[in-house]
Structure 1
Amino acid sequence: MKSLLLGTAVLFFTGITNPAFSQKTEAPKFVSNTEGVKEYSLNNGMKVLLIPDPSQSNMVVNIVYNVGSKDEGYGEKGMAHLLEHMLFKSTKNLGDIKKQLSDKGGRANGTTWYDRTNYYEVFPSSDENLKWSLQMEADRMINATILQSDLDKEFSVVRNEFEIGENNPTRVMMQNVFSTAYTWHNYGNSTIGSKEDIERVKAPTLRKFYEKYYQPDNATLIVAGKFDENNALKYISDYFSILPKPTRELGGTYTVEPAQNGEKYFEIKRNNDQQIIAAGYHTSAYADKDYAALAALYEILTSDPSGYLYKNLVEKQKVSGIWNFSPVVRDPGMVYFNFDVPKDKDLGETTTLVKAELDKVAGTKYTEDDLKRAKAKLMKDIDDAKNNTINYAIGFTEIIGAGNYKLAFLYRDNVENLKLEDITRVAQKYFKNNNRTIGVFRPSANEERVFPTEFRDNQIADMVKGYKGRALEKEPAPFEASIANLKKNLTEGKLSNGMKYGLINKELKGDKVQGTFRLRLGNEKDLQGKNAIGKVTAALLKSGTKNKTKEQIQDELDQMKSSIDTNLYGQNLIININTYKQHYPKVMAILQDMLANAAFPENELAKTVTETNTWLEGQLKDPNAIASNELQRLASPYPKSSIFYVPSLQEQIDDNKKVTKAQVTEFYQNMIGASDGAGTVIGNLDAKSATAELEKTFGKLNSKSKFAEVKPTFFETKKEDKNILTPDKENAVALGTLSFKMKQDHPDYPALVLANEILGSGGFLSARLPMRLREKEGISYGVGSYLNVPVSNEVASWNYYAFLNPTKRAAVEAAMKDEIAKALASGFTQEELDSNKKSYANGRKTNLGTDNMLINLVNNKLIFDIPLESFDEQNAKVQNLKLSEVNAALKKYISADKLISVFAGDFNKK
């Protein structure tokens, strides 16, 4: 399921203490504290992990069940994923789960993978939210209703999710590599399941699956972020310890994939312009030490710009892009390599080249520099994950599915202890063509077959038994998520060239430092006709300078576990940095070199254009991309001379091909400047030192082109419905927009925001549009609406979207327009108003607990002079709204007579 909004349950259930579960409560037993992860256990077999972080203003409750698509039998393909959807319906004690979640504000999700299923909720930290979430998950564990009437609607939603994936060539290719490579093991089956099984499974069958696996002895509960540990343990005792341990024995799966007998080959033929070559190799389980060595090897092979495969294939423009994926799994897994091939390349010849390069992997003599570079990148990723507590707790889901959460620490230790001989060993062991899925079968004598190493539960238990981990890190100081506290910890100023800056003094976990800078560039005359040039320039800033090569820049950033990202959006060059306190000066020095001394090598320009155009070629027949592009062109019919002109997908490809190094250099020399920009840095930095680094980086960066904000033109939309046929596509899309004049400081803005929340945006799938199309009729997997109301101009719009089976096109259009018409005719109810006021307020509070939101608020203050207090004022205005004001705003700005709709899909399907 997608990330969804949640809410306040006023119904605290008591049914969990019925006579069937009348055993006494027990306190969770402390097991260990491994690097801040505190493990407890209950007599019924449930594991509990507490990860406190007082610097957070949010908390997460994440429950992981050791069941996934691997556990599905004949006729059950997709059952684990379908059940995940059903558990958001209702329980015997709570009733409508989505309604209860919708009132709380925050975000929630459920996900299914090969070895596990999880459910999590992220809320603002409070004892009430903690208690409710634990109560709800305990009830959902054993009291889900799983009604046939709900299943009749939900199966088509899941089927639509399946169909969306069928439109994606990359996803189709990956699934076919896995299904071809695996003969017996369920890792060869798609987690989302078989379309036919999804359609035909009945509620009683689904219930048997649920009652077998959704039990305390098959679950790990995680609570992380800012919370009271004593209260958490009490609530866990109250609601989970009373659940009895089942008498059944799960036993686990015992299928072991045999060694592959020879290279496998398959070919897919579908209506699409995107060319892909893929290769898969059977590899190791996550518990195996080989997994760390293989992860390093993948970095050595594919990283940009130092990777061996990257240099020989992408650098030489044989393919446009390369990436790999190796899932974290319980049993021996796979590595998947994806090679994107431009349309003008012969696929047969390129396949031969790719195979030849893969054949070199086992015989290559890797260097200590290769290993050092790979370890730096892997350790950066590990530290980044650990120092974001909320995501860290959710990320444990995969590790638990792989056998035990402590495997994450062992993996880190294994990465740190890697030797060059480990890289050579795994390259020689796994990278054999008879262990590969890409080509044809070839008989051969004396094959040295690859037998995977199996890890049983008792072996993993022995591996992690007694593991202590490292010394606990210093906990960051608490930081209250409030505007008053943000102001208290904010330092503002100007650099010598006029650039504005903000410094937020907040101690982040691991002493992390984040920054976002917006450099506002150019004017209408100087930017005319340079959209493609500007985007390519931004993408190339990290491709090398007069002082350092691209490889040297990337190596230094990886060694410091840091990153710099740049992109151009309109008149804004957006720069994001992610680093640590001790490396902040060096990272800023690298950024200064990029901004002052960029070199733009010809080969990097060619690679960037090729990679971008290969991606665009893959969009040429994608319904979503086509519809989105066409809708923009219909709603904003600018002439080609305007900087706001929306080029077609093919025009974008053609424009990119025309970009030259001279144009990029000219844009860089004349347009890049910081005097009209602003930026915000968050972290525990000394304000004086941090300002000095900003001055070194941006203080002398001035543009030759004078900045003047270009205002968009208002085009009044008129009713239009357009169909676009995309043959042989399993999924279709409906997109719509209508325009009106409004800025965010307009008196009607709060009322229109809340009207949109009720109609299509707010709550946990409880707004009218998703409730009708997804929950009631089951004809769309994803549906909703959103507002686009700017800060500095009045060109605003209301928009809707829906994903659908092509055969449901008429039903989706009718339901969508009917719900809009009902809202306009009868308005909303007081109950809807009250519920969405609450979820809106809680959602904003959750957002205020994120570092990115704090940065964005300060940047908007610096650039647009929007007071920080306006964040609270906006919520106050929403909370004071009357129902008549919300209904009036809806009727004033939303009109079916102004709605442009674009439908794209294979509507000839029967």
Structure 2
Amino acid sequence: MKDLAIRFYLILVILLSNFILAQKSEVPKFLGNTEGIKEYSLKNGMKLLLITDGSQSNMVVNIVYSVGSKDEGYGEKGMAHLLEHMLFKSTKNLGDIKKQLSDKGGVANGTTYFDRTNYFEIFPSNDENLKWAINMEADRMINATILQSDLDKEFSVVRNEFEIGENNPSRVMMDKVYSTAYIWHNYGNSTIGSKEDIERVKAPTLRKFYEKYYQPDNATLIIAGKFDEANALKYVAENFSILPKPSRDLGSTYTVEPPQDGEKTVELKRAGESKLIAAGYHTVAFADKDFAALAALNEILTANPSGYLYKNLVEKQKVSAIWGYSPEVRDPGLLYFNFDVPKDKDIDVTKNLVKTELDKISTINYTQQDLARAKYKLLKQIDDTKNNTINYATYLTEIIGAGSYKLAFLYRDNVENLSVDDLKRVAEKYFRSNNRTIGVFIPSPNETRVKPAEFLPNQIASLTDNYKGKTLEKEPAPFEASIANLKKNLTEGVLSNGMKYGLINKEIKGDKVMATFKFRMGNEKDLAGKNEIGQITATLLNTGTKSKTKEELQDRLDQLKSTINFNMSPQTLTISVESYKTNYPEVMDILKDVLTNSTFPQNEVNNKITEINTDLESKLKDPVKLTIIELARTSTSYPKKSIFYTGTLQETIDNNKKVTRNQIFNYYQNILGADKAVGTVIGNVDPKIAVASLENTFGKLTSKSKYEELKPTYFETQKSMKNILTPDKENAAASGVYNFRMNQKSEDYPAFVLANEILGSGGFLTARIPARLREKEGISYGAGSYLTIPISNDVATWGFYSLYNPTKRDAVENAINEEINKAVKDGVTEKELADNKKIYANLQKTMLGMDESLVDLVNNKLQFDLPLDDYDSLNDKIQGLQVDDINNVLKKYFGSDNIISVYAGDFNKK
């Protein structure tokens, strides 16, 4: 009887404890569906957004915390960003997060900005990944370890990230303009923070920040893509609803930036070749209706080729390039302009010219055409973002930081409803010299000072609470991410001129259509010494035809919500098209016009060469660029006329200056042609329409130059090391390479691929080189390896790279050499092999869920007669590899005796 009573008591205890746990779990409360975004909430204050897309084979889990650099106090600059890094370390329950992310083949990251911090993971869609990701995010919300030992390593990684930014003149200039424009508000502080604060913060201080802001009432969880909604709600309930709502009150940021009362000046002097002019105007929060008008005005002023500032400054060669930027922020922000200035221009004269043009903004008579052009472009961007579900889920991070995800829809509505009067009103209100940070401070009486409206939480709530959005679009059909399904939905054919094409029947959200075409052209004789001519020709293909100006071409593409991009490699012109089902035929007609009737106006030739050279001049002392170029020059010995020759930056600049319009026109007329091209279209396009459009666009386009594939020469590499001094550069770079003979049919190919994954490129910072340099020693922000093994020839390369503080140069060299030698000497372990097999397999499945990957696979099939089944076959071979296979490849191919290394940086820095 006693044993029976004890047994009964234990059963009762178990049942009671399960009842208590069940009571703690709470089903998320459904709040509504706004244009396909289903919104839920939990009693602890957490918000949940579900966005389903059956056409995806991937899903994303993205958690957004409403905390960013604006919430940092004295001595805390950079804390939000540093904490983001630390949360990838480990938790009390799950341990090493990066390792588990890698095992699942996930693509993951975290980002921090003024108003928010987010963490996201993209996985192949299955219930195991969904459950794990939700459990992991709940665990690191409250159970991150934040160890001082981890922080000691990570702060130098973050500092190195800071130093990388310090090498970028545009980024440094933006930081300085922001810090000058804001007197009190924390938007004046760079998100990456103060180097001194980063270095000195201690784990307990960081933990207080974490415990205050990383709570359910300050978080929004987004799940998007293909997933089981019922299971998602179940896992959220099990993992998040049991977390208590904290008793503390977060409060709100109450600092309000006062109106600026005079034009401000910031002058930056440091090493670098770039000449830049920048201007920042205080404007509005994203919630303000004026944000849409200002976004349109930004397009109207800066767009190439129609922008007023572009026409008066770039086309007239006063500056080489211009861009504008306005972040979606919670509080009043800045509209920021950047002007790149050619090296030979006087900076003071140019600054006065820029200011003169800026002063005209408030007086321009904006037209209905200006408005329509800007609205087409902005609405195209909005649709493109919304119709890429995975990217859309991460894009909402910024909008949530600005106050509410529904603000994205209100912004779109505001863009749709813009009038010319709105443009004139905001131009007159905000574009005043006393509201600008650019030049000198000039006292002036009777100024009309600008004070953007402040948006309180209840005001944003009143805007968004009852907002219902537009009618839901049709959901695209599911598409299984597999080679078998790709083959099932693929149609191949040949055009009358010999061009091969593929059509992938796949519904994409919004009836989007994507295509990539590759023109293989020319021969050794016809292409000799024409690399720069070909590159410039490609960049000028959208600058006007016999029937349409550059402006008209761009306007029509914007109206069609479409883009056409051109990119030239030595023997291949790649054309990328993005459009929508109903617009696709007309977009292809535009492409035909460009490929057959381009005029290459002389002023566009002049502007483009100036723009390209200004960009190259800015990189003359850039450590990363210098290591890449020097490595290519040292590891090969091509003659200068060869298409494979790599010139110095100065050589390229000088060669660009020699390019003439006649040379460009001759290249266009005699070398461009589609008779040896391949191309793939993906989308739900009627095959008859698609083929007719391809035939109409490319069928009669043949090259006068006979195509002969040029293959690279094998140059044996011998160990060498070179240092390049770049004085006063905060960051340094290292690159290494060696050449060997192999192609993708080689017996050693699968083992070499996995050996490279293990050594430097696999997983989420878990391969040996990044794990050693970043995770273990904290001496490099970015480090790893790369591998190029061709299909049609046997000239292969393996290399490594690292970004680091110049004072860590020797430590980086020693660590990389030790990891390579250790791999060759000791080989890999059974566990390491098993882990990386799993990582590789999962990543390959993730890649099959990306439309771009499907297009690339089909184009490779068309170009190289590469069977689609080889994709699965390679994975099967990799899964069958044994430890000896990897170790034999390491011993056969790797070793420090054949690696050329280049290190660039300010190595005199103490």
Structure 2 length as normaliser, TM-score? 0.98
Query: Which string of whole-angstrom CA distances, capped at 9 and with x for unpartnered residues, describes residues 312-337 of structure 1?
Result: 00011110000011111000000110
Alignment of 1:815-834 (within 5 A): 815-834=815-834
Distance 2:247 2:645 in 1: 67
Letter in 2 for 1:347: I
Distance 1:47 1:521 in 2: 54
Alignment of 1:634-713 (within 5 A): 634-713=634-713
* Residue 631 of structure 2 is aligned to residue 627 of structure 1: no
Structure-2 change in CA distance of 1:436 and 1:740 (3 Å): same
Aligned to 1:11: none
Query: Which string of whole-angstrom CA distances, capped at 9 and with x for unpartnered residues, describes residues 120-142 of structure 1?
Result: 00000000000000000000100
Aligned to 2:259: 259
Alignment of 1:578-589 (within 5 A): 578-589=578-589
Deviation at 1:643, TM superposition (A): 1.7
* Partners of 1:86 and 1:151 within 8 A in 2: yes
Alignment of 1:72-471 (within 5 A): 72-471=72-471
Distance 2:871 2:846 in 1: 13
Distance 1:149 1:796 in 2: 40
Deviation at 1:86, TM superposition (A): 0.3
Letter in 2 for 1:382: I
* Partners of 1:69 and 1:79 within 8 A in 2: yes
Structure-2 change in CA distance of 1:18 and 1:86 (3 Å): farther
Secondary structure of residue in 2 paired with 1:248: coil
Deviation at 1:683, TM superposition (A): 0.5
Structure-2 change in CA distance of 1:637 and 1:584 (3 Å): same
Distance 2:804 2:374 in 1: 42
Unaligned segments of structure 1, at least 5 residues: 1-16
Deviation at 1:19, TM superposition (A): 13
Distance 2:862 2:675 in 1: 13
Please, which moves more after superposition, 145-154 or 886-895?
A: 886-895
Alignment of 1:847-866 (within 5 A): 847-866=847-866
Aligned to 1:3: none
Deviation at 1:20, TM superposition (A): 12
Query: Which string of whole-angstrom CA distances, capped at 9 and with x for unpartnered residues, describes residues 415-462 of structure 1?
Result: 000011000000000000000000111010100000111001111011
Letter in 1 for 2:491: T
Secondary structure of residue in 2 paired with 1:405: coil
Deviation at 1:891, TM superposition (A): 1.4
Distance 1:526 1:349 in 2: 44
Distance 1:345 1:789 in 2: 44
Secondary structure of residue in 1 paired with 2:24: coil
Deviation at 1:24, TM superposition (A): 1.3
Letter in 2 for 1:452: P
Query: Which string of whole-angstrom CA distances, capped at 9 and with x for unpartnered residues, describes residues 216-274 of structure 1?
Result: 00000000000000000000000000000000000011000000010001111111111
Secondary structure of residue in 1 paired with 2:780: coil
Secondary structure of residue in 2 paired with 1:782: strand
Letter in 2 for 1:82: L
Distance 1:807 1:434 in 2: 43
Alignment of 1:657-806 (within 5 A): 657-806=657-806
Distance 2:167 2:281 in 1: 25
Aligned to 2:55: 55
Deviation at 1:641, TM superposition (A): 2.4
* Partners of 1:63 and 1:221 within 8 A in 2: yes
Secondary structure of residue in 2 paired with 1:646: coil
Distance 2:19 2:793 in 1: 63
Secondary structure of residue in 2 paired with 1:49: strand
Letter in 2 for 1:199: E
Query: Which string of whole-angstrom CA distances, capped at 9 and with x for unpartnered residues, describes residues 471-493 of structure 1?
Result: 11100000000011001110100
Letter in 1 for 2:591: L
Secondary structure of residue in 1 paired with 2:744: coil
* Partners of 1:737 and 1:799 within 8 A in 2: yes
Query: Which string of whole-angstrom CA distances, capped at 9 and with x for unpartnered residues, describes residues 664-687 of structure 1?
Result: 010011001000000000000111
Secondary structure of residue in 1 paired with 2:502: strand
Aligned to 1:870: 870
Query: Which string of whole-angstrom CA distances, capped at 9 and with x for unpartnered residues, describes residues 380-435 of structure 1?
Result: 00000000000001100000000000000000000000011000000000000000
Distance 1:308 1:285 in 2: 25
Deviation at 1:567, TM superposition (A): 1.4
Query: Which string of whole-angstrom CA distances, capped at 9 and with x for unpartnered residues, describes residues 288-319 of structure 1?
Result: 00000000000000000000000000011110
Deviation at 1:106, TM superposition (A): 2.3
Deviating 4+ runs (over 3 angstroms): 17-23
Aligned to 2:555: 555
Deviation at 1:22, TM superposition (A): 8.6
* Partners of 1:23 and 1:242 within 8 A in 2: no
* Partners of 1:303 and 1:310 within 8 A in 2: yes
* Partners of 1:21 and 1:244 within 8 A in 2: no
Secondary structure of residue in 2 paired with 1:284: coil
Aligned to 1:541: 541
Distance 1:628 1:863 in 2: 28
* Residue 514 of structure 2 is aligned to residue 505 of structure 1: no
Structure-2 change in CA distance of 1:517 and 1:103 (3 Å): same
Aligned to 2:4: none
Distance 2:484 2:22 in 1: 47
Aligned to 1:35: 35
Deviation at 1:792, TM superposition (A): 1.1
Query: Which string of whole-angstrom CA distances, capped at 9 and with x for unpartnered residues, describes residues 647-667 of structure 1?
Result: 100001001100000000100
* Partners of 1:492 and 1:503 within 8 A in 2: yes
Distance 2:870 2:186 in 1: 53
Equivalent pairs counted in the alignment come to 894
Deviation at 1:575, TM superposition (A): 0.2
Distance 2:182 2:807 in 1: 33
* Residue 521 of structure 2 is aligned to residue 521 of structure 1: yes
Distance 1:302 1:675 in 2: 38
Deviation at 1:642, TM superposition (A): 1.6
Q: CA RMSD in A?
A: 1.0
Letter in 2 for 1:555: D
Query: Which string of whole-angstrom CA distances, capped at 9 and with x for unpartnered residues, describes residues 339-376 of structure 1?
Result: 00001111110000000000000011000000000000
Letter in 1 for 2:292: A
Distance 2:198 2:19 in 1: 36
Distance 2:101 2:574 in 1: 35
Deviation at 1:772, TM superposition (A): 0.9
Distance 2:812 2:472 in 1: 54
Distance 2:699 2:851 in 1: 25
Query: Which string of whole-angstrom CA distances, capped at 9 and with x for unpartnered residues, describes residues 678-703 of structure 1?
Result: 00000001111110000000000000
Identity score, percent? 70
* Partners of 1:21 and 1:243 within 8 A in 2: no
Secondary structure of residue in 2 paired with 1:582: coil
Letter in 2 for 1:784: G
Letter in 2 for 1:769: I
* Partners of 1:260 and 1:434 within 8 A in 2: yes
Aligned to 1:12: none
Letter in 2 for 1:567: N
Distance 1:427 1:321 in 2: 22
Distance 1:518 1:235 in 2: 45
Distance 1:419 1:643 in 2: 51
Distance 2:688 2:413 in 1: 37
Query: Which string of whole-angstrom CA distances, capped at 9 and with x for unpartnered residues, describes residues 72-120 of structure 1?
Result: 0000000000000000001010011111111000200000000000000
Letter in 2 for 1:574: T
* Partners of 1:35 and 1:471 within 8 A in 2: yes
Distance 2:32 2:79 in 1: 35
Deviation at 1:18, TM superposition (A): 12
Aligned to 2:5: none
Aligned to 1:4: none
* Partners of 1:736 and 1:799 within 8 A in 2: yes
Alignment of 1:488-503 (within 5 A): 488-503=488-503
Secondary structure of residue in 2 paired with 1:615: helix
